[in-house]
Amino acid sequence: MNIIMLGAPGTGKGTIAGILSEKLGIPQVSTGDIFRKHIKEQTELGKLAEQYISKGNLVPDDVTINLIKNRLEDEDVKNGIILDGFPRTVKQAEELDKILKEKGKKVDLVINLTTPEKEIIERIVNRRVCSNSECKAIYNLILNPPKQEGICDKCGSQIIQRKDDTEETVKSRLKNYLELTKPLVEYYENQGNLYSAVVSKEINKLGKAVAEDIMDYIKENR
């Protein structure tokens, strides 16, 4: 099953994708994680990506498309994949459709998450992630703090704040999302494979509860 996670930064895509990955037995692939790995290792791709990500801008389509095309060749995604952070533009979506079609596959489900902007900013500024790239656990100092301050509950590694998780960068990313990524909702709505959900503390629906709703939907529609 091939799933795409859509939604502005801070809507809980990574958290919900992680839960779905565990329940469905297919890998979660985050373009953000891949880019951050390259930035940390200071590869050529990492240096190029950092120029855009540090300013809250999207990495150019051709760079991101090639990244995903190579990832889809790996053995662990032959039975399905959960894409978190890709596609970000209609052009990327069209290219993904072509890549999958060549393999006799398609996008089965697109999950569109929405959250009030005030909550998004509060959530991202207070977001912390595990420094262990194999763990990738996500915390929130307000909603979901670690049991021991600064330490990951799952693996015991240090938790850190991402460099781009600042209010200024978040506002820039939200602006980019509205301009470039929101048209994807209409694109997939027209394909008939869109599932939309609100993730908000105002309605008492956060990551785990939304993931359970999605799993129920998948079981009903398989």
DSSP-derived pairing of the beta strands 138-140 and 127-130: antiparallel
C-alpha 215/C-alpha 222 separation (Å) is 11
Residue-level pLDDT at 95? 94
Question: For the whole prediction, is pTM greater than 0.85?
Answer: no
Catalytic option among 36, 123, 128, 173: 173
Mean pLDDT of 149-168: 92
pLDDT at 37 over 90: no
* Catalytic annotation present for 154: no
* Ramachandran angles phi, psi of 153, nearest 5°: -65, -35
pLDDT at 28 over 90: yes
Mean pLDDT of 213-217: 95
The most confident of 49-53, 59-63, 135-139, 187-191, by mean pLDDT: 187-191
Residue range 173-201, pLDDT digits in tens: 888 888 877 889 999 999 999 999 999 98
- The answer to whether 86 touches 72, Cβ cutoff 8 Å, is no
Which residues lie below 8 Å from residue 145, measured CB to CB, with a gap of 6+? Answer: 139
Residue-level pLDDT at 67? 80
Catalytic option among 162, 171, 201, 205: 162
* Catalytic annotation present for 123: no
* Catalytic annotation present for 173: yes
C-alpha 14/C-alpha 155 separation (Å) is 18
Which domains does the chain possess? 2-115+165-221 (3.40.50.300)
Q: How confident is the model at residue 2 (pLDDT cuts 50, 70, 90)?
A: very high
* Catalytic annotation present for 71: no
Residue-level pLDDT at 8? 87
Catalytic option among 36, 123, 127, 128: 127
Catalytic option among 13, 36, 123, 128: 13
Residue range 124-142, pLDDT digits in tens: 899 999 999 888 898 999 8
* Catalytic annotation present for 36: no
pLDDT at 50 over 90: no
Comparison of pLDDT for 214 and 33, the residue scoring more: 214
Identify the sign of the CA torsion 74, 136, 173, 206.
positive
